[in-house]
Amino acid sequence: MLSVLMVSAFVVSLLVGVFSIRYAHMRDAGTMHEDMVGVQKFHVAPTPRIGGVPIMAGLLAGMLAWWWSGKTGLGQWLLLLVSAAPVFFVGLAEDITRQVSPAKRLLAAFVSAGLGIWLLGAQLSSLGIPLLDGLLLHWPLFAVLLTVFAVGGVCHSVNIIDGYNGLMAGVAILISLAFAYVAFVTGDRFVLKAALLLTAALSGFLVWNFPRGLLFAGDAGAYLVGFLLAELAVLLVVRHPGVVSPWFPFLVLIYPIFETVFTIYRRKQRKAAAGLPDSMHFHQIIYKRLVRWMVGKREAKHLLRRNSLTAPYLWAMALLTVMPAVLFWQYQWVLQLFSLVFVVSYIVLYRRIVRFRSPKWLVLRKQADKVTPVRHS
């Protein structure tokens, strides 16, 4: 049955992706040209940003296949998609109009998080920190506010790492598979199906997003994926108290989460507004300091190749947190240790790369441009 759900989500996401590309190129060319302007923009051709549509279409197709193959857990999946509706549609409005502010998108994420608490009971009850756990237990309002803030923060974090071809989708697939594994081990059929459906829908989108970058996730896609990952993380902890450590989903999601925290810190250090875009995220310095000088000239095909070479660096970094999280998902102190190791490693690598002191093992040998010999008569 799981294979039917996954194939349905993948195929529909793939096909709707085709129509999204064709429609956007015919109807939205001017807006796509405008979208290439900005310090955080690194793509080389006008590209549609409505990749959230095929992802959502794949998830809905999976719901229909779920209904056809058996209705166990279907109601919870429907409620999860209903909860995701505000953040998805507000993100889609931004992708189409470019007139929805970051504050409104974050507010929509908070609304979706509130719906998740109301409809699914997805409310944090433990963080694995004694003092905070006591507050969560005795102050339900604090638990609600913290959950809303955490879910909204993950939505924003996933949107931040959506910068290069395949980056966000590849990292999200790794995270979803980690959640699916722990759900399988704990016997949580709903979270298992939901995580695999998200993996399949993302895979259909990824076909068009990596390596050629024919379709971008946009805010609808990034916020939708971020919300679903956050909800699955909360549900795993809430549905298996004392079994699944809260530090398991934290370690799995630590790359986008800490990227956001570090971004806020460095912008405050520079006395810059926290909400303004810049070009100093970790994936952007990977591109500028490591990848940019490796491939070719400033021709479009070389720029595209450099763009696509960036994501594997970050996939590897995410994998280095996902693997220990999956191996030690029950051992809280080990998860905390790996979280600390990641934070220290991130800061050290960031500073070295920014200062042009990148470790040699990170730098690929630059490919020399092919020179056509000149024949003399």
Q: Give pLDDT, residue 114.
A: 97
Model confidence at 40: pLDDT above 80: no
Judged on CB neighbours under 10 Å (0-12, 13-18, 19+), 164 is buried
Phi, psi of 90 (to 5 degrees): -65, -40
> Model confidence at 207, in pLDDT bands (50, 70, 90)?
very high
With vertex at residue 162, the alpha carbon angle to CA 157 and CA 168, rounded to the nearest 5 degrees, is 90
Question: What is the per-residue pLDDT for 8?
Answer: 96
Q: What whole-number distance in Å separates Cα of residue 13 and Cα of residue 61?
A: 8
pLDDT category at 68 given cuts 50, 70, 90 is confident
**Residue-wise pLDDT tens digits, 88-138:** 999 999 999 999 999 999 999 999 999 999 999 999 989 999 888 999 988
Which residue did the predictor score with more confidence, 301 or 241? 241
What's the confidence (pLDDT) of residue 50?
93
Rounded CA separation 7/69 (Å): 13
Instruction: Tell me the one-letter amino acid at 325.
Output: A
List, for residues 312-365, the tens digit of each pLDDT value. 999 999 999 999 999 999 999 999 999 999 999 999 999 999 988 888 878 765
pLDDT digits (tens, 9 = 90+) for 266-316: 888 877 766 667 778 999 899 888 876 555 555 556 567 778 889 999 999
Q: Supply φ then ψ for residue 258, to 5 degrees.
A: -70, -30
Exposure letters 169-201 (e unless 16+ CB within 10 A, then b): bbbbbbbbbbbbbbbeebebebbbbbbbbbbbb
Residue 214's nearest CA partner among 26, 59, 98, 49 is 49
- pLDDT value for 1: 74
Residue range 58-67: average pLDDT? 93
Question: What is this structure's pTM?
Answer: 0.90
- pLDDT, residue 32, reads 47
Mean pLDDT, rounded, for 142-164:
95
Query: How large a percentage of the chain has pLDDT more than 70?
Result: 86
Low-confidence winner among 30-34, 83-87, 342-346 (lowest mean pLDDT): 30-34
Q: What is the mean pLDDT of the chain?
A: 87
Between 148 and 40, name the one with better pLDDT: 148
| Mean pLDDT to the nearest integer, 187-211 | 96
pLDDT at res. 309: 86
What is the pLDDT, as a whole number, of residue 300?
53
pLDDT 10s digits, 251-262: 999 999 999 999
Rounded to whole angstroms, how far apart are CA atoms 226 and 256?
Answer: 10
Q: Pick the closest to residue 95 from 224, 275, 217 (CA basis).
A: 217
* Rounded CA separation 36/273 (Å): 22
- pLDDT of res. 163: 84
pLDDT category at 27 given cuts 50, 70, 90 is low
18 touches 57 (CB < 8 A) = no
Asked if pLDDT for residue 139 goes beyond 80, the answer is: yes
